[in-house]
Chains A and B, each alone.
Chain A
Amino acid sequence: MDAVFKALADSSRRKLLDELRKQNGQTLSELCEHLDMTRQAVTKHLVLLEKASLIAVVWRGREKLHYLNPMPLHEIYERWIGKYERHRLQALSDLKRGLESSAGRIRRGGQTKTKQKTRRKEKWRTRDRRSLT
């Protein structure tokens, strides 16, 4: 577990994980395209993330694909958060997201229809969950 926290204690490595969350299963070159880091630096960070098991590597022919591995974070979740009621935590986090996204809409003004739809959906979900709790 030390390796997990050490690997997470670096903003570049967290950024790499965010990139994989957006698009899972990327090669080193694909990851380098979106990041302002040298190929060598990305390679170094990937090794640490892989050692901590935060990413999993799958070979497709000669291509090395990087995937987010949720297991270490799940173990942290089980250890410290699992005992709390998941639905209430989810409701709180949905509420936060709902409120913050509607505030964002006022600030940003114009946006696409799909975004509006997702936001509306999120709001409904928040409302549904709240009625359950």
Chain B
Amino acid sequence: MKKDQFVYVTYIRTTPEKLWKALIEPEFTRQFWANTAQESEWKPGASWRIKAPGDLVTDSGEVLEIEPPRRLVLKWRNEFRPELKEEGYSRLTYQLEKEGKSVKLTVIHEIDKEGSKFIQAVSTGWPHILASLKSLLETGESLEETREWPREACK
């Protein structure tokens, strides 16, 4: 099947447990992921959403696979940009592997469609978010430009 797929790999000096928490708990995500929080019961089949400030649901979906602190697969659809929402559900995989004193984090975002605007749109966001996550876990501080929800994105 034809699909669009982007892969991001980053090595973070931390433990898989800490990285797992940082990826899903609001206390952490608010610092490196544009002040957003994720809501889910974190079990297979549970619904999942990202909320930006002002209760704006930006993305939603479902937990497909969960195996803490190694693997998380989410069904994921944008909810606030109609042209992206109409592309339907994508699939996001986080894979955490311990390598020496670091964790290799692989993020795969894919959709069963070619020329996806959604995959293109997230492809500029992921490197920022992941670089900030790395900075937060290694230095205690996230990157400044990733701490607030960008105003122009709220249209």
Interface residues of A (CB under 8 A from B): 24-25, 53, 56, 58, 67-71, 74-75, 78
A75: chain B residues at CB < 8 Å are 131
Q: In the complex, what distance in Å separates the CA atom of A56 from the CA atom of B127?
A: 14
B130 and A71 within 8 A (CB): yes
Q: In the complex, what distance in Å separates the CA atom of A123 from the CA atom of B5?
A: 29
B131: chain A residues at CB < 8 Å are 71, 74-75, 78
The stretch that binds A, out of B7-15, B21-29, B37-45, B79-87, is B7-15
Interface size counted on chain B using CB atoms at 8 A:
16
A67 and B6 within 8 A (CB): yes
Main secondary structure of the interface of B (DSSP, over half): strand
A24 and B8 within 8 A (CB): no
Interface residues of B (CB under 8 A from A): 5-11, 106, 108, 123, 126-128, 130-131, 143
Count the A-B residue pairs with Cβ separation under 8 angstroms: how many?
38
Task: Return the chain A residue nearest B132 by Cβ.
Answer: A78
Task: Return the chain A residue nearest B143 by Cβ.
Answer: A78
B143 and A69 within 8 A (CB): no
How far, in Å, is B130 (CB) from chain A's closest CB? 6
A69 and B5 within 8 A (CB): no
**Leading 5 A-B pairs by shortest Cβ distance:** A67-B7, A74-B127, A56-B9, A56-B7, A71-B10
Task: Return the chain A residue nearest B135 by Cβ.
Answer: A78
Contact check: which of B5, B9, B123, B130 meets A53 at CB < 8 Å? Answer: B9
B5 and A25 within 8 A (CB): yes
Task: Return the chain B residue nearest A77 by Cβ.
Answer: B127
Q: In the complex, what distance in Å separates the CA atom of A58 from the CA atom of B106?
A: 9
A71 and B127 within 8 A (CB): yes
A71 and B8 within 8 A (CB): yes
B8 and A69 within 8 A (CB): yes
B127: chain A residues at CB < 8 Å are 70-71, 74
How far, in Å, is A67 (CB) from chain B's closest CB? 4
How far, in Å, is B100 (CB) from chain A's closest CB? 14
CB pairs A–B below 8 angstroms (19 shown): A24-B7, A53-B11, A56-B7, A56-B8, A56-B9, A58-B7, A67-B7, A68-B7, A69-B7, A69-B9, A70-B123, A71-B8, A71-B9, A71-B10, A71-B131, A74-B128, A74-B131, A75-B131, A78-B131
